[in-house]
Amino acid sequence: MFKFRLTRLLMWMGAAAAMTYYFDPELGERRRKDLRKRMDKMRKFGQKARLQAGL
């Protein structure tokens, strides 16, 4: 039972740290914009790979 509590605690701490990082009032908008760019780039790369693979 202790193992699951520790895992859950670490998960919540990681989620809180990520939210603090991305919703920072000063730099958060730029970080979110960069994240959106990277996600779009990965999505396009995946679509291109699927087309090349014939799927």
Cα dist from 16 to 6, 8, 27, 54, 55, whole Å? 15, 12, 16, 41, 38
pLDDT, residue 2, reads: 66
C-alpha 41/C-alpha 33 separation (Å) is: 12
Residue 37 token pair: 């760019």
C-alpha 20/C-alpha 46 separation (Å) is: 29
Residue 48 token pair: 């291109």
pLDDT, residue 54, reads: 85
Q: Which helix (H) or strand (E) holds 30?
A: helix 28-53
pLDDT tens digits, one per residue of 3-55: 789 999 999 999 999 999 999 988 999 999 999 999 999 999 999 999 998 87
- Listed by start position, the domains of the chain span 2-53
